[in-house]
Structure 1
Amino acid sequence: MVRCHRCFRSTVRLALLGFMTVALVLGSGAIAHSQLPSLPTANSSAFSPPDGVSRHGEYETASIRSPLDRRELFEVTSPTVLNRDRVPEGLLPVEVRAEEVNERLWRLFYRAYASEPSAQPPVVTIATLSNQPIIQASDDQSSRPIRLVTVTEPDADFNGKTLDELAQEWQTILQAEIVRFRELGSPEVIAQRIGQALQILLGLLLASAAIWWLRRRLTRRQQTLESRYQEQLAAIAVGPSPPDPEDGEAIARATLRSQVLARVQHSLSVQRQLEIGKFLTWLLFWVLIVMWYVGIARILSTVPLLMRWSLYAWTTPLVLMALWFGISLAIRISSSLINRLTHSWKTSPYLVLGEAERISLRATTISNALKGLTTSVLVIIGIIWTLSLFNIPTGSILAGGAVIGLAVSFGSQSLVKDLVNGCLILIEDQFAVGDVVQIGERSGLVENLNLRVTQLRNSEGQLITIPNSTITDVSNLTRLWSRVDFSVVAAYENDPKQVLSVLQQVCDQLYREPEWRDRLPEPPTVLGVDDLSHTGMLVRVWLKTAPMQQWIVGREFRLRVRQAFETNNIQIGKPQTVNYNTGLADVTPHN
């Protein structure tokens, strides 16, 4: 059986390792194939319009924005340029034209802001050059007007208006924007807006203090519930008091099972309260982030000197915050689903007596491993989406990751073996966190178990880390139940029946006491005389205990056996020796 089990595990390891290697090879080949250079198409960077440019058949448009708050004023139009690498002579791409107009507007508004408050605002007029209307602005600081934008035939054709009608419309928009800028740039308005910004900032600070107080109250309540939950888990691990066997074996087993499930159900109600508290703490954290985000965006849109950044505050940062809020919410939902699955597993009515206690301890290990796996996958997805949000090509990163993964799969086969063997340990329930195990020559309490390593804490307090790939033979000392294998050597001068009777009395007395009855699921068994040697009679007793209780029960039983032997004058066996005299025989003396 042992050989078949090892062969099965080796076959599973090879199958998983081969599957992962094939998947990496196929994935890297597919990604590499998608990254091969191809002929230029309409989707390539040279043939697609740049950011901020919209293509409408034969025309392309770009926005002219206010230097004050980046609000769109109007759009300029140019004939479509299919290939940005080969622009026809005499044709100006629309993005270049829009950039020139925006720079001129910024120069005009800066001059208007730097002028004296008593100076007249610039006046926007319409002139004609080469039969095309030109919109220009004049102020007191310059004798020559500043040309802002030329109204072209593509502009009029795209908007469905004549050149003069479109020029008058743009003149009105620009003049109103200059007036608005002068009004917002006055010292009175600036002082008023700064006061509003300070009020918003004060409100943010007060709301942050309230949220901090609520989070502190929730944290204290969580600590109280956590301590109560750990106490209930410890009670489940010890197990309930066994019922009286005289009621019948079936009734006794059913009663014990109902007691275990009742404790598990009560611990689950406390754990649900913990989950609700953690969700509220997480929600308050995101409320704090959203509140500061909205407050800062509001301040940027209120203060005139900061209004030019208000448009950016409502675009990319908002999408980025919504993305990671969704990732964080998905992590919490997946963790909640995993907890619900493990809870339903713990409280399944089809569990055999004794397995309920074991599964309540094992579920924590499996749920933590699943939570770590889902969290890693979701975080990687969030990072990829974040890179694509900032226009960073993720295809090359994924291709490089596939190549690196393929190299790691061949160069770090021990790591893959660790992961595969860690999965087998969890699936086969060889041991879990809280068990006392012996792995090879090392033994101790399992403090941490993941897919890569197992960490033990031995009796000297040393933390031993063992890679899962090196684990072949495991001795679990606390799975479902434990046992004290007690043996003592009695001298031949003692009556064997008396020795067995005294040991049986000690076992019965220990089992009848309520303090030790909780640790002994069934009465101890006196096996009898197990061996005869030159030291005496070897008598053996088996004491079945609850998990993790064999040591304390064994120490108490040995103490009582020592006291009972002394009371009944039972001697412990001692090694017997025989001396031989090899000297010369006595010689008769001569007279």
Structure 2
Amino acid sequence: MLIDSTHPLPRTTVAFLVAVLSAPFLLPPRQSPLAAQQTGASPQAPAKPSTRPSRKPASQDDTESDPDTDAERIARLQQIIQEDRQRLDELRSELETLKSRTEEQSATVMQLESSYVEQEQKIEDLPQEAADENAKQLRQKLSELGEQRREAHEAFNLVIQRRKATQSQIATLEQKIELEERALNRLLGVEPEPEEPVDEPAGEEPPATPLAEPVTTPEADSTDDASAPATPAPTADEASRDAVAPRATPFDPRVQAARRKLEVKQQALDEAEQRVERLNEAVDVVAENISNEQQLLENASQEVQLARERLAELRSRLNEQTDSGASEDELAAMQQQIEETSRQLTTTIETRDSHAERVATLESQLAAVQEESDEAIEQLQEIQSEVDSASRWLRFMESPVAPHRIADWLIYRGPTILFIVLLLVVLRWLIRLIVGRSVRGLVRHSRSGRAEDREERAQTIIGVANSLTTIVILGTGLLVVLDHAGIDVTVLLGGAAALGVAVGFGAQNLMKDFFYGSMILAENQYRVGNVVRIAGIAGLVESISLRRTVLRDLEGIVHFIPHSQITTVSNLTQGWSRAVLDIGVAYKEDVDHVMQVLQEVAQGLREDVEFRHLTVEDPEILGVEALGDSAVVIKLLIKTRPLQQWTVRRELLRRIKNRFDELGIEIPFPHRTIYHRQDLSEADAVFGTAGD
């Protein structure tokens, strides 16, 4: 910054600006006290900003140079805080000096502005007949005042910027001291500042988040544990009426162990979050220091530029005065100003270089703190994952499907349910045996039909009876098992009653659709993906339900057909399909040769790797189908997989056409010869009349 001889820049201020932002935890030989308190490691050397003793084993030199005890860290942190407070006092003193400098520069600017305006007014009031020499002197003085005014404005702006940067540095240093005091209090085991306990009296407890709900009630758990021996055991009747997964006892050691594990993980998560928060604050402080230092560096660079311009101007004036024959006193005064400006330029350059070095040092320290913050975030994510896993495990242990709860359920419920299932199996076997013998006996005593017909009828009746018996036994047994398992079956019975009421009030058509649909599904008449023809509508089956079938025809139209309206079903893709080709050749061709060629072409398609999986059997040549008006028709058949007959047919037609073209076999087409009357007259003129 350019300061004239009336307002020299104190050398102590320049030296102070070099170290104004030297936050102790950012100096190269030290580590952030906040980082040291969090990691439990000693400060690190600047040459190894990424070395982390907690991550890898320290070398012997690191062990000798880094303190390992809390006492050494506390002493070092106290020394750092003391140095920061001293620097804070110096910054405040410097701010007071800058305030007075601001007032002085403001007065100088106002004085120069007033002088410049007066000089302009003198030039304007100068009469036209004034001597040129007088006007030239006034304009020269106005130019000098303008240059001084410009320099004063620039100097004033730099003082204001420097004052703002100093104020920002004071605020940053106060924040840094606050962070260091928090770190010192943690090392000393002192509680945080009093406003935190006032706002959150239960600050030691983890937040009541859904993830840590089991952790927020340790008192209730301990109360349950203490009262567990006095809790009476459930009776047999009460146990039989419990839910699906009854509680074994009020005290479950597995659940308590899962809760304790979650509490430990949650506590570690809280500590990791606090550590990340502290590191983020440290990163913000370092970044603020860098911003302030860069501002000071920019101010110093501008001061260097102004000092160089001022020095060049003074030297130019000295040369002009020397050429104009100025007195020795004037030349000596000008030379003294040049020497003073040169010294200020040297000091300002040193200040700028020191700021540049300081910016580089702060940026390296910011990288180190940022690296530590990134590692802390990674650790936080790992701990968060562990907390989530522990929370899921606790919920699983408390759920009815936990292994120990299932084991308890099997112990309490298993024998009874197993006995009921065995009883139902035996009952079903006995009923099937009785029904089978009874039906066979009745049918054998009947004299209608042959013995084979009677046996088939007996098998049909036995099958239907067995199906009905199985449905009744399974339905009844399922209700009994559900009731003994602790599930209320009244809801199921209420649903069955509602269904009966719906049927009684006229849902016969709907029930008919359901009945026909069950028959279609049971008999496997068609399924989704088949191409069928129902009630004159052909299309692809898109879906089947108990009530209706959905078809989409070739034009993309969707048809909904109720099952009660289905009388005949034509399944075009049941089991296999067939491609039918009628090949027409000219009458002049050898039919046997053509049939041999067709056999070879169809067999080649059958053996092709691309189409082998689409065909089922070898092709079949039926022979001459018809003698048409223009061609001899030969019929060719080939079995394909369902829905692939059209693909095979198109490929086979393509190959037959290409093969016929190679062999010169003619594929005729209908043609007609037309004779015009004029053509007949010309023919008579040339060849004579028909009578001749």
Q: Specify the TM-score bucket, using the shorter chain as the normaliser.
A: 0.3 to 0.5
TM-score by length of 2: 0.29
Structure richer in helix, relative to its length = 2
Greater Rg, structure 1 or structure 2? 2
